[in-house]
Amino acid sequence: MTVQQPPIQTRRITVIGAGVIGLSTAHELATAGYAVTVISDQEPLETVSAVAAAIWFPYHTENSPAADLLLARSLARFEELASIPAAGVDLRPGLNVDHLPGADRSWTKIVANATEAPKAELPEGAHAGVYARLPIITMTTYLSWLRNEVEALGVKFIHGTVEDLAELKGSADLAVIAGGLRGGQLLGDAESVYPIRGQVVRLANTKKLTDWLCDDDYPDGVSYIIPRREDIIVGGTDTAHDWNREVDPDTAAAILRRATELMPELEGLEVLEHKVGLRPARDAIRLELVSGHQIPVIAAYGHGGAGVTLSWGTAQRVLDLVAEIH
């Protein structure tokens, strides 16, 4: 007797990881009618996604036509979500600074409102800059909202750790690996994934600042200032292969000094919190069907510092890949 596969709408899919990639993927799959379960040993607000500033910007990720499609799809979705106050997404103007000629501006072709900044409005020592109105995502609000949306679609959550994909046989027809830094462990790819340590300071936004500023090549280190609704995320660091999750006081002081030089309005704002996150980097994003397992597997990890930025595009690509599996 021939065993029939379940109808595509009822295919059981397990997503491993509850960060922004995992939740976005679960949302798109459930919306398409799949029966989705998310397995993670961390709650969304415990993941590195919760530390993100977060601004739509391709930070520390690959530059390719494939990545451009992910960026464009994500930008379109975040622009839609900005009309939903509860989602925690706001479109805000700001300035991205270039210190050297030939800086990568490929992202500007995706943004409809990017314009050249006048020289007189640039920080001292800057070569050029671009003004743009981009999505700013308050991650504590957004991750909680997204989880609620996913649960409303019928997605089930299991707190636990998958040690071997064989464990899923019988309970899942397909698995999606969206496990961030640990994404490669289940696929024998762990050595290709490495951390880029990011330390940030969270300030109270009592002055109701709205304009963001990013200066990746500031002489004394990367500096970004991302005002959100009630706070301001100030960064940062971008140290590759650094697993240290502890806050360094000297680094925090340097971050605040650089940021205040760039934006004097920060002077005197209350420090609410110091945070450290390890961005899950890889030389190239791994977003593909992986063969050789007892059930079909889709890899979706290695997004570097652009997990939020690429999240919806990644989720939609996963949906495309699922549709290709017969």
Phi, psi (rounded to 5 degrees) for 286? -100, 110
Dmax over CA atoms of the chain, in Å, equals 77
Give me the helices (H) in the chain, please. Answer: 20-31, 65-81, 139-152, 249-262, 307-324
Q: Find the mean pLDDT for residues 52-72.
A: 83
Q: Report yes or no: 21 and 300 within 8 Å, Cβ to Cβ.
A: yes
- 6: pLDDT strictly greater than 50: no
In sequence order, the β-bridge partners of residue 55 are 136
pLDDT tens, position by position, 140-188: 999 999 999 999 999 999 999 999 999 998 999 999 999 988 888 999 9
In whole angstroms, what is the distance from residue 52 CA to residue 148 CA? 20
Q: How far apart, in Å, are the Cα atoms of 243 and each of 143, 238, 272?
A: 24, 12, 24
Q: What is the mean pLDDT of the chain?
A: 91
Contacts of 52 (CB under 8 A, 6+ apart): 20, 137, 139, 277, 307, 308
Task: Label residue 2 by pLDDT band (50, 70, 90).
Answer: very low
Q: What percent of the chain has pLDDT over 90?
A: 75
pLDDT level of residue 50 (50, 70, 90 thresholds): confident
Q: What is the reported pTM?
A: 0.92
By CB neighbour count within 10 A (0-12 exposed, 13-18 middle, 19+ buried), where does 293 fall?
A: middle
**Predicted local distance difference test score (pLDDT) of residue 211:** 97
Nearest to 233 by CA among 44, 57, 50, 111: 50
CA neighbor of 266 nearest in space, from 226, 239, 297, 309 = 226
Winning range, highest mean pLDDT, from 36-50, 82-96, 211-225 = 82-96
Across the range 291-303, mean pLDDT stands at: 94
- Domains with residue ranges and CATH for the chain: 8-324 (3.30.9.10)
Answer whether residue 275 shows pLDDT above 60: yes
What per-residue confidence (pLDDT) applies to 62?
67
